[in-house]
Amino acid sequence: MTTDVPRLRRLIGTPELAWLLDRVRRRMEAGQPLDGIVTLTGAGEPERAAVGRLLGRAPRPGRSLSVSLAAVDRVLRDSGAGPDGLGAAVVALTGPVVPRQQTTDRLARAWADAFAPLASVVAARSELADWYASLHATGLVRRLAPGPEEAAPLLARLARLLPHLPVSPPRSLSTFAAEHTGDAHALDHGPLATLTLDAVRALTGTPAGDGAQARRDTWAAAGLLLDELSSQVLVLNLPGDPETATGRALDALGAVGQPAVLTLRQLVRDAPRPPGGGTAYVCENPAVVLAAADRLGPGCAPLVCLQGQPSTAALRLLKHYADAGWTFRYHGDFDWGGIRIATRLLTHVPWTPWRYTAADYRAARDAHPDTAPLTGTPADAPWDADLGPALLAAGRRVEEELVLDHLLADLASAR
């Protein structure tokens, strides 16, 4: 005997019995036996009447409707509409049923296959082990790719990139991407860029951060230059050396007290070789460098200017000199933005305050009581716990330009 689908539809395929088919199908997906009782709470008269017709009994009153699955199975077999029973009837009416465990196992195998190329790369690089574990723990890949079919090519491309990181000597990010993915813009943004940046942080120890500058710093830490020319740093009288073109340029300009602008390209491809030991002063605003060049010229102590948030070029320069034994003294604007700039710099290179403490702020504020009001979100100053509260209490900002005479006197005496 074969299943009579039209009769099955008339028996149990009506809208009033859709809930019953759904309950049976879910039991089959869960691998549960088709016996026992299923109950529909809040059943209406149409559902009661449909069950009564199916089982050949008068509708029963009550708030819930209970149906014996064994009784339904007997009706289907005895009627000839479903000689293979309830389970086969549900498949005939609603389509094949795949047990959830089987679906889960198949999905797990698909994800394992997608991760396999990356797992092989990580097995050869122990420094990536924690990062790889975090990919699974945080579900980052599953958030970036909706399923293993989409994740497989993404992870395969990532696996091709990682053996070549970090890069030495440094090179353009777009050139690197083109060489290893066939697309010069593959690492500009998107899931592959996100995963690669995450891996670079694990390889280089670069802290996580938001925004374009943090991305630029992370790529640079791996020897990949996002933009070699626009990232710059301003210096005055910073000693170089005769062995590199950049060093000779620094020495030549310093001899006549002229500021120099160094690009990231110069600092990566032709970095000066600083003499061992020394102290450089670091400021936030170019106005300090301009005044120092005008008034002090060659008599100014080595000076580096961040020009706001420290660029990748500035951080690379300062770390380069720090590695050669140099120390730094820092001054910035007395406002919340200035404190955040100084704090970010402190996470990259150590420095000591240069007239940049709570006592210095109070003295500057007393000398200039009518400065602009302090605005923005307060921030703590790790180098002086009293500075933030002092700013908050006074409610006034003091920019570097207002204390130039003191700064220049320090720069002259330290030469």
Q: How many CB atoms lie within 10 A of CB 290?
A: 15
**What dihedral angle (degrees, nearest 10) is formed by the CA atoms of 74, 80, 86, 88?**
150
Can you give the three-state secondary structure of 335-396, one letter per residue?
Answer: CHHHHHHHHHHHCCCCCEECCCCHHHHHHHHHHCCCCCECCCCCCCCCCCCCHHHHHHHHCE
Query: What average pLDDT score do residues 270-285 get?
Result: 94
Determine which of 159-173, 184-198, 334-348 has the lowest per-residue pLDDT on average: 159-173
The beta strand positions in 61-114, using DSSP E, are: 64-68
When the pLDDT of each residue in the chain is averaged and rounded to a whole number, the result is 92
pLDDT of residue 255: 96
pLDDT of residue 1: 61
Q: How confident is the model at residue 60 (pLDDT cuts 50, 70, 90)?
A: confident
Q: How confident is the model at residue 31 (pLDDT cuts 50, 70, 90)?
A: confident
Determine how β-strand 64-68 pairs with β-strand 37-41. antiparallel
Residues 6+ apart with CB under 8 A from 344: 309, 310
Question: pLDDT tens digit string along 185-220?
Answer: 999 999 999 999 999 998 888 877 778 878 888 888
User: Does the pLDDT at position 327 exceed 90?
Assistant: yes
Question: pLDDT tens digit string along 108-165?
Answer: 899 999 999 999 999 998 889 999 999 988 999 989 998 999 999 999 999 999 999 9
Query: What average pLDDT score do residues 165-193 get?
Result: 90
User: Does the pLDDT at position 277 exceed 70?
Assistant: yes
Query: What average pLDDT score do residues 345-358 get?
Result: 96
Report H helices in 162-190. 173-181
Residue 338's alpha-carbon distances to 285, 321, 365, 379, 388, in angstroms, are: 10, 23, 15, 10, 11
User: What is the strand order of the sheet 278-283 is part of?
Assistant: 260-263, 232-236, 303-305, 278-283, 326-330, 352-353
Query: What average pLDDT score do residues 66-95 get?
Result: 93
Report H helices in 182-311. 191-204, 212-221, 245-255, 264-269, 286-295
Provide φ and ψ at 376, rounded to 5°.
100, -175
Query: What average pLDDT score do residues 91-107 get?
Result: 85
- The residue with tokens 């600092």 is 267
pLDDT of residue 88: 93
